[in-house]
Amino acid sequence: MYHDPTLGIPDLNFASSEDLLRTLQDFDISKVVNVLKTLGEAAAAATINLNTPPVYLPPPPPSQGLSSVKQNPVGSDTILGRKKSAPGATPDFVPGHFPQGEVENPEHAHILANVWMNAAKLSEMVKKEGLVYKKGKFSAIEEAQLTAAIENFRVNKGLSQEDLCNIIFSKDRGRDTFWPEITSAVPLRPIIAVYHHVRRTYHPLKGQGKWMPSEDELLLQAVAELGQQWEKVSERVGRMSSDCRDRYRNHLQNREVRRNGPWTKEEEAELTHIVTEMTVEQGKDMDNDVFWGVVSERMGGRRGRQQCRIKWTDSLSPQVKNLGEKPRWSQLDAFILVHKVDSLNVRDDSEIDWKQLPDEHWNSWSAHHLQRRWLTMKRGIKGYEEMSHAEIMEILKTKKAQSLPPPNSGRRKKTKYTSAEAVDEDDDTIDPALQAGSNSSGTSPVIA
């Protein structure tokens, strides 16, 4: 028997996983996933149809050479009722629907789930066949779909957990249908991506938290003796090979000279100089074409690749510096962010592609910054952990509309920062219709 007051459905008394599913199938997908997780009913989840199409854009025109699907948030100007959309912007996409005949192409689905394509082959397929596939972090929903599919496979074949691990980590061929079968559970993911993801997720040495000084010593010694053969190093240290590699390159390499703590003006100038030299002066993109391992080396190893990259993207990049002015986050920004997220119509915030959110008319907030803001706002809601994305969305839409400063009201407090006021000082009049908050149908006012 399972009781969950937040579901708003009667208590469940199910004899089998299938029974549970039949009952749950009509309810909110994210809640169903939560319930199944709580119950550890992965096998049950395997039979549920979680394949409701997420919100994706049609495949990009081949000329742009983009390979992965994209989300298309509404622009800040549209949210503020200033104009329809920025010139040259992609037309508004109708959320919740795939373009006909593209994404649901069964032939492509079969290829993605069965053919082990490398990056070159994938991009060729994108160009020539209009293949669409998904990149980036696996969302919570995809995770649930995969877990369910794996459990389903295990049960159907009558395998033990150990047998399953043998299949996942076996070096023999002939694992027959395992990889293609579970890949089919996550639409738009190539088999190779699922393979890497699952091998990491199910690894027995996964997730061991903080490194102890003794482990560091063990790792240093292993690297000194074996070199960067991470699989062998892994056996010695007792951590996953990729974790050994990460610990070494991010924290142990150049340990004698490595600096921590706030950056000095000199260090910042040095980093700016190096990045500029490596990109702009070679006709490359400052925000995309930087090899941070090389940058770290050129800093004399005194700062690691993560330190350099974060310093750059969070505070030194011209885009972030915003012409020397440091904008301050305002209620208006919060309002825009909530409606942008809403316009994505995702089922869960782990599905959000944050890189798609910044827009040029909106204070140059970085994707990283927006994501952290979102998290802060979300955590500001009591009991958010137990809520679905849709519920959180509703609360935030109402809350942020209410906390919005009324048009032309009040002088803002003086701060040492240049005004954030975001989008621009004299133009933050909001369409009164928007201030009323969300409508009951759940559709965002910005789309309507």
Burial class (CB in 10 A: 0-12, 13-18, 19+), 177: exposed
* Binding flag, residue 22, DNA (CB under 7 A): no
Instruction: For residue 133, give the DSSP letter.
Output: B
**Which residues, in sequence order, are CB contacts of 312 under 8 Å at separation 6+?**
271, 275, 290
Residue closer to DNA, measured from CB, 7 or 243: 243
CA 30 → CA 35, 196, 349, 390, distances in Å? Answer: 9, 25, 11, 9
Question: What is the spatial distance between Cα 81 and Cα 439, in angstroms, rounded to a whole number?
Answer: 17
Burial class (CB in 10 A: 0-12, 13-18, 19+), 296: buried
Applying CB under 7 A, which of residues 12, 39, 115, 165 lies at the interface with DNA? 115
* Binding flag, residue 232, DNA (CB under 7 A): yes
Residue closer to DNA, measured from CB, 14 or 202: 202
Residue closer to DNA, measured from CB, 350 or 435: 350
* Binding flag, residue 27, DNA (CB under 7 A): no
* Binding flag, residue 247, DNA (CB under 7 A): yes
Residue closer to DNA, measured from CB, 63 or 288: 288
| Selected range binding DNA among 16-24, 114-122, 336-344, 423-431, rule: CB under 7 A | 114-122
| Binding residues for DNA restricted to 150-189, rule: CB under 7 A | 170-171, 173-175, 179
| Binding residues for DNA restricted to 373-432, rule: CB under 7 A | 375-376, 380, 413, 415-417
* Binding flag, residue 83, DNA (CB under 7 A): no
Report in angstroms how near the CB of residue 20 gets to DNA at its nearest: 27
Cα dihedral angle (10, 11, 14, 20), rounded to 10 degrees? 60
* Binding flag, residue 114, DNA (CB under 7 A): yes
Applying CB under 7 A, which of residues 23, 47, 371, 443 lies at the interface with DNA? 371
CA 69 → CA 66, 121, 132, 191, distances in Å? Answer: 8, 17, 6, 16
| Binding residues for DNA restricted to 125-154, rule: CB under 7 A | 135-138
* Binding flag, residue 192, DNA (CB under 7 A): yes
Structural tokens at position 291: 């090899």
* Binding flag, residue 210, DNA (CB under 7 A): yes
* Binding flag, residue 200, DNA (CB under 7 A): yes
* Binding flag, residue 292, DNA (CB under 7 A): yes
Instruction: For residue 210, give the DSSP letter.
Output: S
Write each residue from 306 to 345 as x if it is in contact with DNA (CB under 7 A), else as -, in one continuous string: xx-xxx-xxx------------xx----------------
* Binding flag, residue 290, DNA (CB under 7 A): yes
* Binding flag, residue 3, DNA (CB under 7 A): no
Question: What is the spatial distance between Cα 104 and Cα 187, in angstroms, rounded to a whole number?
Answer: 9
* Binding flag, residue 207, DNA (CB under 7 A): yes
**Which residues, in sequence order, are CB contacts of 145 under 8 Å at separation 6+?**
45, 50, 51, 185, 186
Residue closer to DNA, measured from CB, 136 or 406: 136
Helix, strand, coil percentages (3-state) for the chain, rounded to 5, are: 50, 0, 50
Question: What is the spatial distance between Cα 47 and Cα 332, in angstroms, rounded to a whole number?
Answer: 44
Applying CB under 7 A, which of residues 6, 156, 208, 221 lies at the interface with DNA? 208
Distance of alpha carbon 199 from the chain centroid: 20
Applying CB under 7 A, which of residues 82, 298, 355, 361 lies at the interface with DNA? 355
| Binding residues for DNA restricted to 52-81, rule: CB under 7 A | 67
